Amino acid sequence: MKFSLSWLKQFLETEASVEDVAATLNRIGIEVEGIEDPAEKLAGFRVAKVLTAARHPDADKLQVLSVDTGEGEPLQVVCGAPNARAGMLGVLGVPGATVPANGMVLKKSAIRGVESNGMMCSVRELELGDAHEGIIELPEDAPVGAAFADYHGADPVLDVAITPNRPDCMGVYGIARDLAAAGLGTLKPVAAPAIEGSFACPVEIRTEDADGCPAFYGRVIKGVTNAASPQWLQERLQAAGQRPISALVDATNYVMLSYGRPAHAYDLARLDGAVVAREAKPGETVLALNEKEYALEPGMTVIADESGVHDIAGIMGGEHSGCNDATTDILLEIAYFDPERIARTGRKLNLTSDARSRFERGIDPAFLDDGLALLTGLILELCGGEASQVVRAGAAPATPKIVHFDPALTGRLGGVEIDPAQQKTILESLGFSVVEEAAGFDKAWAVTVPGWRPDVDGAPDLVEEVVRIHGLDNVESVALPRAEGVAVPTATPLQKLERRVRRAAAARGLNEAVTWSFLPEGEAALFAEGNGGMWSLANPISEDMKVMRPSLLPGLLSAARRNLDRGAASLRLFELGRRYLRGAKGASDERLTLGLVLAGEKVQRGWASGKAVAFDAFDAKAEAMALLAEAGAPVEKLQVMGEAGPQFHPGQSATLRLGPKNVLARFGMLHPATAKAFDIDGPVAMVEIFLEAIPGKKGAASFARASYAPPALQAVTRDFAFLVPVDLPAGDLVRLVQGADKANIVAARLFDDFRGQGVPEGHKSLALEVTLQPLEKSYKDEDLKAVGEKVKAAAAKVGAVLRG
């Protein structure tokens, strides 16, 4: 929320500077995100007087001005404003100044052949308003040569972050209350005028939705003149990031921003009969002030008359009954709406507004009359007119919330000892009522919570209030007690697995990426196992973050695209995180997964390597096998099978499985259609490892690696070359050979694949290196021969014949 320093000082009697205000707000838990100083924005602009104005020799709509800046000789300036004339005072931007509206740096230049030393500025160019028909005209007593920022007044603007539990600080007055409690000044009381009304309200007002709108107050003001707001009001709204519209609309916005109290003004001429707060009916729609039409449904509170709905209650008014320049009679509405009802309606309609952000957090139910009186008084001041008597339909919740509070709790929970008398002073300065010896409270205080603090529910909340006003920086940092001896490990087996795999991936030259857990629906659908398996958010941050990711690969592909678009030649990205699936009966199914993307050049072009070499599916497989081994998977037992998924190239992808159903990983090249969907050019290799699919050993949580003890005897290697059908996967043969004699064969690997002269048509020659490990004694010839026979017998199961 933004507000100017002068706005704050309207409610807080203080001489504090903007720096002191910011420091105090941070100290009491209201984070200041930034301070805007208009003096910096207006640097280089000064009050100047036009001495002469002559027509430009080469342009009918331009004039050549002689401008007095109060320093030395007059400057020549070319100007196209129709109101530029000799004798007027305006604002000159000298060379070197930056125009706030467009960031243009002024410099000495020639315009149609005539030298111009700066620019006479309009209101819009200095971001002081929307007027741009001509340049700024200053009063005759404006000091020529003075810095315009000093003349205009530099009013700093603070930008503070208000947490959802502090609805009282959604208005400048609430922030002033906190600052006063912190000792930065004196809070001025709310000066609500007493306006009785000179005639009975001609409009019937009632509420037929006691749950959604318990209280609905209103009054009519006749004979108003809806013109532009005065300059002070426009400047304060602009400081808050609001666009001034008209006096009536600006007045309602000003009361909302000042006191956190939304209200609404209807054009009385556009209303038909009684104005009622009720539930929406099936099929009703409303055209809101944002020019969008919304379909309403029962359970949503609306403001309607006999013709139909005019307002989505507590969220946004309707276009039909809004005020305009021709409005002369208005109906002011101020109500109390149920926070939960407002929040549900806003989420269903996907509609946000300043009013909704305040109502759904909870506003002060006791501020209805004062809020209506403040708004009425401001409108009468700005627009004139005559006010009716107030009509009150229903009543706001009035039962006070009383909390039992022991001041000793502050030391136990807050970690700081504060004198009970000081605690009472702090609470009372924040608006709480404290009775120290209340009957039935067992020596604890009876603290009555003010209506503007719906977030305070119990004694710990009061401790928080006392400690933050006392000063969070006054709470001493104390180390937690630590038991003697070595700390007991707390990491779970899954956490240890994450750490080990993350380190292994980084050690292999991969760069870790952290992407969003949310994806655009289109990208998520490409990697979902049917759209029914995706989790879609009912109230997403944006449409680009609507679906929880069913895979880590879309986020990595988007990251790869961004890097490739910015000229990255080679990418090796990985991410370790969770994907989110819809489990049985709609339950959430979160699975730990490792995603990996290889894109660009694996080997750059060079005098030794020749042309650049891109990543391929075998690179993806190598990474998958290495990381699975690091995760403790029995890689020697893995089977290479197809069906990696439609996102992968069907002829250049596969899965790694333990048995036909347990998929540990999938790898391969990105499908061209998927690459097009992500706007990626060039080959991309991908890996997705499902870490939770790795089965644990008996009695262990995972395939953790045992400590290594080298064998006493030297290993022996033997080579075997087999003729096999050309379509036989080499992995099938390797797996059979390795399992031929588990007592002696510890490894088998393929080192040659030959197809050519000497190999029959329809066959290929696969050469394997088999490693044998003796345990108790060295091998004899007959031992090696026996193992060889077992190898040949195992290979024969897939039609492999030992080559002669």
3-state secondary structure string, 694-737? CCCCCCCCCCCCCCCCCCCCCCEEEEEEEEEECCCCHHHHHHHH
Is 455 annotated as ligand-binding? Answer: yes
DSSP string, 231-266: HHHHHHHHHTTPPP--HHHHHHHHHHHHHS---EEE
Work out the number of other CB atoms within 10 angstroms of the CB of residue 542.
8
Q: How far apart are CA 299 and CA 324, in angstroms?
A: 31
Q: CA 74, 75, 79 angle in degrees (round to 5)?
A: 130
Q: Give the tokens for residue 675.
A: 């690459």
Is the separation of the CB atoms in 119 and 92 below 8 Å? Answer: yes
Residue 625: strand, helix, or coil: helix
Rounded-to-10 torsion of CA 47, 53, 57, 61: 80
Q: Tell me 443's DSSP state.
A: T
Q: Give the tokens for residue 539.
A: 């109230």
471: left (phi over 0), alpha (psi -120 to 50) or beta: left
Q: Give the tokens for residue 505.
A: 């991936």
Residues 6+ apart with CB under 8 A from 530: none
Is 311 annotated as ligand-binding? Answer: no
281-to-289, 292, 318 alpha-carbon distances in Å = 20, 19, 16
Residue 273: strand, helix, or coil: coil
Is 338 annotated as ligand-binding? Answer: no
The identity of residue 707, as a single letter, is S
Is 19 annotated as ligand-binding? Answer: no
Q: Would strands 570-582 and 511-512 be described as parallel, antiparallel, or unpaired?
A: parallel
Residue 569: strand, helix, or coil: coil
The identity of residue 458, as a single letter, is G
Is the separation of the CB atoms in 452 and 166 below 8 Å? Answer: no
Q: Tell me 544's DSSP state.
A: G
95, with CB counted inside 10 A (0-12, 13-18, 19+), is middle
160-to-42, 130, 238 alpha-carbon distances in Å = 23, 26, 16
76, with CB counted inside 10 A (0-12, 13-18, 19+), is middle
Q: How far apart are CA 447 and CA 434, in angstroms?
A: 5
Closest CA to 212 of 149, 121, 299: 299
429, with CB counted inside 10 A (0-12, 13-18, 19+), is middle
Rounded-to-10 torsion of CA 190, 196, 202, 205: 40
- Give the sign of the dihedral formed by CA 729, CA 732, CA 735, CA 739: negative
* Residues annotated within a binding site: 455, 461, 464-465
* Residues annotated within a binding site for Mg(2+): 455, 461, 464-465
